[in-house]
Amino acid sequence: MKRLFGTDGIRGMVNEYPMTPELIQKLGKAIALFCIQENDNKDNHPLHVVIGRDTRISGQMLESALISGLCSMGIHVYLAGIIPTPAIALLTRHQKACLGIVISASHNPYHDNGIKLFQSNGYKLSEDKEAVIEQFVFDNSEQKTKNDPGLVFTLDNAEQIYLEFLIQAFYCQRKNFHVIMDCSNGAMFRVAPKLYQHLGFHSETLHVTPNGKNINLFCGSEYPEELAKKVVETHADVGFAFDGDGDRMIAIDEKGNIITGDQILSVCSWFAKKNGKLNNNTVVSTVMSNAGLTAFLTDLEINHVKSQIGDRHVLETMLSYGATIGGEDSGHMIFLDTHTTGDGLLSSLRLLDVLSESSEPLSSFTKKMSVFPQVLMNVEVTQKIELSSIPEINQLIEDIKAKLGSKGRILLRYSGTQPLCRVMVEGPTQEETHQYCKRIADTIKNAIGVA
């Protein structure tokens, strides 16, 4: 049996393994067993979890399956409805729940869905604890149910709790920003407009009419081109594009340039150091980060630590180095002085904090970091075998590395949530970098790719 948990929870196509109602019900029971095992519950109060979801058409079906499994084991369930992933991290702490559960496949298309888990402290569940739950799912012994099942409650104030948290985290006094946001027809479609309206900004929204199937459909953080065009047309100060579950954000400057996660990280790190708020003078990103970020932070004499791919690894590294700023080029930013997980709205507020202290536009800050030519290609694969064991791939990589020398690098990795091999190449020119990346991607496709 294949593993359930990948780099960011469980994810897959709905009604295919592992995202079937039957397995998700078993997962609900396994989560309940985990909660019971982790909590001695000496006061005999019923244990409870919080569940939130994005706008996918399959969300309610999977939510019902989870509820069935959890309640059969005597666990109470508090439903937050459609709400961003970072809100569930917050609500798990706020409600003193034993776990927070998010039903979402993040930036994936609507036909996929997934499960993410948060501990009682608001941090994502560790791999070791995910392994315990996974073992419970695959344990063939009968999972004894309770005579008194758990109850289901609705958290009517879930969105308001999250909004108040964000409002309190915003330091900016400037009110004349013109902001355009792309909510990806996802979990941000209600809360993001409400936040910016409350803050008094001149704000406009794109893609806030979810129908269950249009989440991430040529919009949001994966497709920010429409937002970029709108920012230029309306002479807005900045644009923010969120992904389907709201934990990522990609920005657009006033000229319509797409600002990546690495660039956002550079701006926020510079600003924090300038104001004496860069904890331990350290910033964490991943091995996928652009080399330009390393050069920028080195010039500022900031300690740059690189983690494995995935926001959980970024978080673990941040905690071990005492850093409060970290993130990924995908736009997943973590500000540990405020929140326990990536939050697209919080990231947007941090950028506005920078702009509020200056009359300069966003483009003047992002140009401080030189972006090295970088090309990323995804190859759909039939199997995930060790790439270095395939002679033609191994030889090509060695040949290209020799040509690049110190002027570039190559990084290959399999996606933890999709049947993809990701190929990243950095090089001296865009043309040369694209050529090398395509040669590698084509070779992988010929060896193990989908026909």
Per-residue tens of pLDDT for the chain, all 451 residues: 568 998 889 999 999 999 999 999 999 999 999 999 998 765 567 899 999 999 999 999 999 999 999 999 999 999 999 999 999 999 999 999 999 999 999 999 999 999 999 999 999 999 999 999 999 999 866 667 777 899 999 999 999 999 999 999 987 777 789 999 999 999 999 999 999 999 999 999 999 999 999 999 999 999 999 999 999 999 999 999 999 999 999 999 999 999 999 999 999 999 999 999 999 999 999 988 888 899 899 999 999 999 998 889 999 999 999 999 999 999 999 999 999 999 999 999 999 999 998 889 999 999 889 888 889 999 999 989 888 889 999 999 999 999 988 778 898 988 877 789 999 999 888 999 999 999 999 999 999 998 7
How far does Cα 222 stand from its chain's mean position? 12
Whether domain 169-366 has CATH 3.40.120.10: yes
433 and 373 Cβ atoms separated by less than 8 Å: yes
End-to-end CA separation in angstroms for the chain: 25
> Within 13 A of 97's CA, how many CA atoms are on the CB side?
30
For the full predicted model, state whether its pTM sits above 0.85: yes
Q: Which residues contact 147 (CB under 8 A, 6 or more apart)?
A: none
**Which residues, including other chains, have CB under 8 Å from residue 322's CB and lie 6 or more apart?**
279, 280, 282
Domain(s) labelled CATH 3.30.310.50 in the chain stretch across 374-448
CA distance 238 to 178: 7
Give the integer Cα–Cα distance in Å for 380 and 383. 9
Homologous superfamily, domain 374-448: Alpha-D-phosphohexomutase, C-terminal domain (3.30.310.50)
The answer to whether 421 and 412 have CB atoms below 8 angstroms apart is: yes
What phi and psi values does residue 264 have, to the nearest 5 degrees? -60, -45
Q: Out of 72, 104, 106, 203, which one is annotated catalytic?
A: 106
d(CA 57, CA 211): 8
Active site residue 106: yes
State the span(s) of the chain assigned CATH 3.40.120.10. 10-157, 169-366
10-157 maps to CATH 3.40.50.720: no
Pairing of strands 48-53, 152-154: unpaired
Distance of CA 440 to the CA centre of its chain: 27
H/E stretch holding 259 reads: strand 258-259
Those residues whose C-beta lies under 8 Å from the C-beta of residue 325, and which sit 6 or more positions away, are 265, 268, 269, 272, 278, 279, 283, 284, 318, 333, 334, 335, 336
